[in-house]
Amino acid sequence: MNRKSTLWTLIAVLVILSFVMTGCKKAGADQVEVFSWWTGGGEAAGLNEMIKIFQAKYPDIEFINAAVAGGAGTNARAVLATRLQAGDPPDSWQGHAGQELIGTYVAGGQLEPLNFLYDEEGWLDVMPATLIPLISADGNIYSVPVNIHRANVLWYNPGILAANDIAVPTSLAEWFTAMDTLQAAGVTPLALGEQWTVMHLMETVLLSSLGANAYNGLWDGSTDWGSAAVTQALNDFVKVLSYTNSDSASLSWQDAAQLVVNGDAAFNVMGDWAEGYFRELGKTPETDYGWAPVPGTAGNFQFLSDSFVLPVGAPHRDAAIDWLKICGSKEGQDAFNPVKGSIPARSDGDRSLYGVYLQSAMDDWASDTVVGSLTHGVVANDSWKTEIDTALGIFLTNMDVAAFQSALVTACASSGPCQ
């Protein structure tokens, strides 16, 4: 090749390269990567409804669904942490209102405040006043809640209860009696899944056994983790666990919930995303499944809220803001929540779009005492929750209540407010 043709080749390569790079940049500018753990069992279906609204409103932005499978985000949150550490944030991610958001992401300086969006969209007029402090720090608001979920729900199989002449239990004592009857009849009383569902069950039993005030006190340091009341609550928890299936560790929350609607277990304690799943399975409320507050927790709404954030350094910041606008909109919330099995975070949702269970949840949310969930990020930051989870994992291998309680005392002292 002579010098001239080498030069022309070089110019041609440069021109092609610059075209390719402009193309890439353009595609990059018109996309939004949204990270969650909603991949299946009622959850993906809910997310898809919101994605549809987004795509109709912003047809030029490519929606990249970066959901990572695994209930309660156990896998997803590990993947997210690795990405954040590597300086590779998605454009927006799912985070729970409360300490998961404030004590973890905000404390880590990973989020942009969203006050400007709340002003522009008028969200302060429609988001519940109870929720705003849980997504705020130093006067800044850091996320857009899409829903309210209830954790303390007892799902039951109405046919199994009727066949065994059991009324829906309203106290721990009644629940134990009912589960004794079921056990004697050869029915699995309580369906349970992998470890996070055990923590979920535990928080509801703590609430039942301690009552709302003392339960709240666990998280603000006013209830002594070493007290006799907590010992009693843990003993109640041990008793509840004695009624569960032995293969729980290998079951997802969907597997465990499904045992109830399939007639293979009488009860399951799970958040109301289970309702989204039951509906996806084609089951009928009040026939295939019934619900009640976890025995002993009537009048209390143990809540959590999924919200979406704007990270510092979002690769596609404008598109991320467009996504957040859909998350906070009435249209987005009323499309997502009836399918997801949650009630809208906004107070102006269209009630007629929601089924009989969710309408009852709306009524309870409006009238009950509201307390926060541990498993789903409201009451403890990530380090405290991780310590509790580690202690729980050990406890499940030895069922040593005294050792568990002392590990919980230590966890509050090292990562909670009990210093």
Q: Which residues bind ligand GAL (CB under 6 A)?
A: 37-38, 43, 71-73, 96, 149, 253, 271, 273, 304, 306, 376
Of the pair 73, 416, the CB lying nearest ligand GAL is at 73
Nearer to ligand GAL, 22 or 250 (CB): 250
Comparing CB distances to ligand GAL, the nearer of 270 and 418 is 270
Q: Residue 185: how many CA atoms within 13 Å on its side-chain side?
A: 19
| Parallel, antiparallel or unpaired: strands 136-137 and 140-141 | antiparallel
Q: Which residues contact 88 (CB under 8 A, 6 or more apart)?
A: none
C-beta separation of 393 from 382 below 8 A: no
Which token pair is 166?
């059991």
Q: How far is the CB of 30 from ligand GAL (least distance, A)?
A: 28
State which residue, 149 or 316, has the beta carbon closest to ligand GAL: 149
Helix (H, G, I), strand (E, B) or coil at 148: strand
Rounded-to-integer distance, Cα 174 and Cα 416, Å: 34
Smallest separation, CB 71 to ligand GAL (Å): 4
User: Could you tell me if 337 and 147 are in contact, meaning their C-beta atoms sit under 8 angstroms apart?
Assistant: yes
Least distance CB 155 / ligand GAL (angstroms): 14
CB atoms within 10 A of CB 347: 15
What's the sign of the alpha-carbon dihedral 268, 272, 273, 275? positive
Torsion sign, CA atoms 43, 47, 48, 49: positive
Least CB distance to ligand GAL at residue 200 (A): 9
How many angstroms separate the CA atoms of 419 and 415, rounded?
8
Nearer to ligand GAL, 149 or 279 (CB): 149
- Which is nearer to ligand GAL, 95 or 169 (by Cβ)? 95
Q: CB of 127: closest distance to ligand GAL in angstroms? A: 17
Shortest Å distance, C-beta 142 to ligand GAL:
17
- Minimum CB–partner distance for residue 108 and ligand GAL (Å): 19
CB of residue 36 to ligand GAL, shortest distance in Å: 8
Q: Which is nearer to ligand GAL, 223 or 337 (CB)?
A: 337
Q: Which is nearer to ligand GAL, 161 or 326 (CB)?
A: 326
State how far the alpha carbon of 393 is from the alpha carbons of 253, 375, 387, in Å: 17, 14, 10
The β-bridge partners of 148 are: 343
Closer to ligand GAL at the Cβ: 211 or 344?
344
C-beta nearest to ligand GAL: residue: 71
Cα–Cα dist 167/182, whole Å: 12
Single-letter amino acid, residue 216: N
Residue 320, H or E segment? helix 317-328
**Terminal CA-CA length for the chain:** 76
Distance, CA of 277 to CA of 259 (rounded, Å): 12
Smallest distance, ligand GAL to C-beta of residue 395, A:
21
